[in-house]
Amino acid sequence: MADYTPPSDHLDRVGYLFGHPIAHSMSPLLHQTVYDSIGLKWSQLLLDSTNMDHFLELIKDPKFYGAAVTMPHKVAIVKHCDELTEEGREVGACNTLFLRERDGKRIYVGTNTDVMGIKLAFYENVSDPDNVFHNRPGMVIGGGGAARSAVYAMRKWFKADPIYLVNREKAEVDAVISECKARGFGDGLIYVSTVEQAEKLEGPGSIVACVPDVPPRTDHERETRAVVECMLGKPHKGAILEMCYHPSPYTQIGKLSEKAGWQVILGTEAMIWQGLEQDKYWTGKDIHELPVKSVQAAIAAKLSEHKL
């Protein structure tokens, strides 16, 4: 299974979604909607594999145009790239491989469009960033890879300072802070672990939630949820991006935020904009030359299939 090569004889150009497990990913649907809309005989094929060597052979195909790289390969792929963009280099993880040609030689470039997905989810949906989230504290809920991307986006584009980190596991937060500091964007990160601490802090203007949509069960999880509710209840009402969209983008944290008067941005927006950013690299077209509305409609229709 690891060495399976998806058939591509019927295509002019071929890309891959490389990761494991990926069977339920909406990435191929998103990109096929783009290619069909602009008349390209291209496809992104599923490569559900942990075999890096096999992937590195497949991308030598003259028809290869680029790849989306997901878990568990986002960090491992970095050393196989000829070059990295600023986002790929600073975040230390790549979810996208694209091609450049120099002196007749093919150059494999790695980038991270996850950070652009977070950035564009806010800027394409919030009408007045200056009043809503610029130059205000930011807040990230969670402690994984998406949390690192959120910190990077808040620091680079939102002018967020400080950035609050809210998570049930202190060790995960420590790891995020350590890695962000090592990469040069870790100053002003504050772990907020109790409601008493949260009550004394200025409210955020932007929040990115990067945790599964499950009810809190342990004491740590209940305290974390209480910290979130405390922050949502502050006088300033900002915008929250709820990264969780499977099986539904309408989450508990999203409902709490809406009830508290916050603008809620669905996680599908970040997924869509990071995917369109990938197609910008792959097709050479500006992101707003791509069929944004068609992609949004295709993803919404797919999600509606999972509703009870």
Count of other CB atoms within 10 angstroms of residue 120: 21
Beta bridge partners of 108: 99
Closest CA to 154 of 207, 91, 109, 228: 207
Helix/strand/coil (H/E/C) assignment for every residue in the chain: CCCCCCCCCCCCEEEEEEECCCCCCCHHHHHHHHHHHCCCCEEEEEEECCCHHHHHHHCCCCCEEEEEECCCCCCHHHHHCCEECHHHHHHCCCCEEEEEEECCEEEEEEECCHHHHHHHHHHCCCCCHHHHCCCCCEEEECCCHHHHHHHHHHHHHHCCCCEEEECCCHHHHHHHHHHHHHCCCCCCEEECCCHHHHHCCCCCCEEEECCCCCCCCCHHHHHHHHHHHHHHCCCCCCEEEECCCCCCCCCHHHHHHHHCCCEEEEHHHHHHHHHHHHHHHHHCCCHHHCCHHHHHHHHHHHHHCCCC
Beta bridge partners of 206: 138, 239
Q: Is 74 a catalytic residue?
A: yes
- Between CA 278 and CA 273 the distance in angstroms is 9
Who contacts 53 (Cβ-Cβ below 8 Å, separation ≥6)? none
Which among 41, 74, 119, 237 is annotated as catalytic? Answer: 74
Strands 64-69 and 96-102: antiparallel
Tell me which residues are annotated as active site: 74
